[in-house]
Structure 1
Amino acid sequence: MAVLLSVRDLTVSFGTRAVVDLARLDLAEGEILGLAGESGAGKSLTGLTVLGLSEYAGARVTGSVVLAGEELVGARRRRLQQLRGSTMALIPQSPAGAFNPVLTVGTTMLRALRLHGDSRGRARQRAAEAMAKVRLETAHLRRYPHQLSGGQLQRVAIALALALGARLLVADEPTSALDVTVQAEICALLGALRDSEGVAVLFISHDLAVLGALCDRIAVMRAGRLVEQGPAPELLTAPRADYTRELLAAALRLGSGEEEADGA
């Protein structure tokens, strides 16, 4: 598969402190890459940097982030704004905060599509087609964010990205606010869209079970650096790094309820 996203010698700093320092990270077209690690590892900041958003938080970015053959580090803000949506899109942790509460989700989608050059009729058509792809009825477009469940809102966020034609989805903990059943549904949807639409997904999560079930490959971060990366089954069953083994052991303890038993 052709490489869609290529990261080389990427450093994200605040003042004199480098928070992210990645030597090499690639994501192929039609691939789901999981970015794992504990809180504060730099996963979300890496995703924001790929989207060209970390500088809004005052970060200094050096190195290279190439998306579909185009260098993003140092690109003009206007160009990055064009690419967000047309080529890449964020799937947020909390979709409720991503939608204007006084607008129907359909109005939000249509405005975004119009901003990217669609006519009103074409925008309506693309919105309806995208809703079908995420298995929601077009009637949901007439609803306000508070009238939809968390899982439905996350599907609408994905639909918006698809309607805009995004080839890369940066999914930042997109299932952490959902119950287990809905988590599984969103993961299944992303896997199906990878297969049917060829979209690539950078899936950021601390949940190794979710990453193992969904991702083709997993990259593990610690303190802003990559510890190891490889095919998901191999990394989760035979990790090379001590840190990865520690993460897996902690996940097993939590899954078995050991911590709750110790505290009883």
Structure 2
Amino acid sequence: MSTAEPLLAIRDLRVSFGERTQVELAELTLGAGEILGLAGESGAGKSLTGLAVLGLARRAGATVTGSIRLAGEELVGAPERRLRLLRGSTMALIPQSPAGAFNPVLPVGTTVLRALRLHRGAGATARERAESAMRRVWLDPEHLARYPHQLSGGQLQRVAIALGLALGAQLLIADEPTSALDVTVQAEICKLLAELRDKEEMSVLFVSHDLAVLAGLCDRIAVMRAGRVIEARPAGELVADPREDYTRELLAAVPRLGGATHA
């Protein structure tokens, strides 16, 4: 992991709906080439934090204050046009439900190429970029001609990741990207993200309730509860010696082979 200025730096972030504050983060950083896990139960504010980074929380009706800096650029208060540009270049979303990310009546390649031409103006080179990105996520480029229903959930997730790569994104925000996949495919997606981190120095904010997945993939894990980070430490340290009772409860809920849970 790079020791330079963080790619993503969040300070005094508050995300509210009316009088109710859903996220209140004093500080959270993500370095270049780092995978940061954001853990916690449903409603902890994990996904909303990701939406705030993407500039989508405001579109959902939230009030966002504080500071979110991406590669030194302030995102809070930035014009929607600028945020839309960044979502098509510097950062990309890997959704929880890959099937919902693609138009069911169009080949997935049509969606990918439209995004590339919109944000990159790539013209004839858009297909070259798309095909190269597909190979980097272990898919034959011929999959671009297939419709979403002809691809598995894991393949659709890899197409979504390929789009981020083709767009040149430095930051992937992965919102529960493995929760709808079986264990074998989960492992493949995690292996792919780790490879992209190593080869491309891509940063990943990986949102998940599953500490077992985060522990095997992430450099650091930040545990959220009721909209706040209660501890953030290197993944190995946090799993081996959690400081907070809540973190211990999350670890105890991780299933083990045979149907038991961790003690």
The two structures have a TM-score, normalised by structure 1, of 0.96
CA distance, structure 2, for counterparts of residue 171 and residue 234 of structure 1? 23
CA distance, structure 1, for counterparts of residue 88 and residue 215 of structure 2? 27
Amino acid at match of 1:244: T
Any stretches of 5+ residues in structure 1 without a counterpart?
Answer: 260-264
Choose which of 108, 132, 142 in structure 2 pairs with 1:139.
Answer: 142
What CA deviation, in whole Å up to 9, does each residue of 1:183-235 have, x standing for no partner? 00000000000001110000000001000000000000000001100000000
- Judging by fraction of residues, say which structure has more helix: 1
Amino acid at match of 1:257: G
Counterpart of 1:115 in structure 2 is: 118
CA distance, structure 2, for counterparts of residue 250 and residue 111 of structure 1? 42
CA distance, structure 2, for counterparts of residue 48 and residue 195 of structure 1? 25
CA distance, structure 2, for counterparts of residue 46 and residue 131 of structure 1? 29
DSSP 3-state at the match of 1:251: coil
- The Cα RMSD (Å) is 1.1
Counterpart of 1:175 in structure 2 is: 178
Report how far residue 245 of structure 1 moved.
Answer: 1.1
Do residues 31 (structure 1) and 39 (structure 2) align? Answer: no
C-alpha contact 1:110 1:120 (8 A) present in aligned 2: no
Q: Which stretch shows the higher mean deviation, 111-120 or 94-103?
A: 111-120
DSSP 3-state at the match of 1:210: helix
Any stretches of 5+ residues in structure 2 without a counterpart?
Answer: none
Amino acid at match of 1:54: A
CA distance, structure 2, for counterparts of residue 39 and residue 95 of structure 1? 19
Counterpart of 1:157 in structure 2 is: 160
The percent of aligned pairs where both chains have the same amino acid is 72
Counterpart of 1:92 in structure 2 is: 95
Choose which of 18, 22, 28 in structure 1 pairs with 2:21.
Answer: 18
Report how far residue 255 of structure 1 moved.
Answer: 5.8
Counterpart of 1:130 in structure 2 is: 133
Amino acid at match of 1:32: I
CA distance, structure 2, for counterparts of residue 117 and residue 155 of structure 1? 20
CA distance, structure 2, for counterparts of residue 75 and residue 122 of structure 1? 30
C-alpha contact 2:16 2:64 (8 A) present in aligned 1: yes
C-alpha contact 1:5 1:66 (8 A) present in aligned 2: yes
Counterpart of 2:107 in structure 1 is: 104
The two structures have a TM-score, normalised by structure 2, of 0.96
CA distance, structure 1, for counterparts of residue 24 and residue 84 of structure 2? 24
Counterpart of 1:70 in structure 2 is: 73
CA distance, structure 1, for counterparts of residue 46 and residue 165 of structure 2? 23
Report how far residue 117 of structure 1 moved.
Answer: 3.1
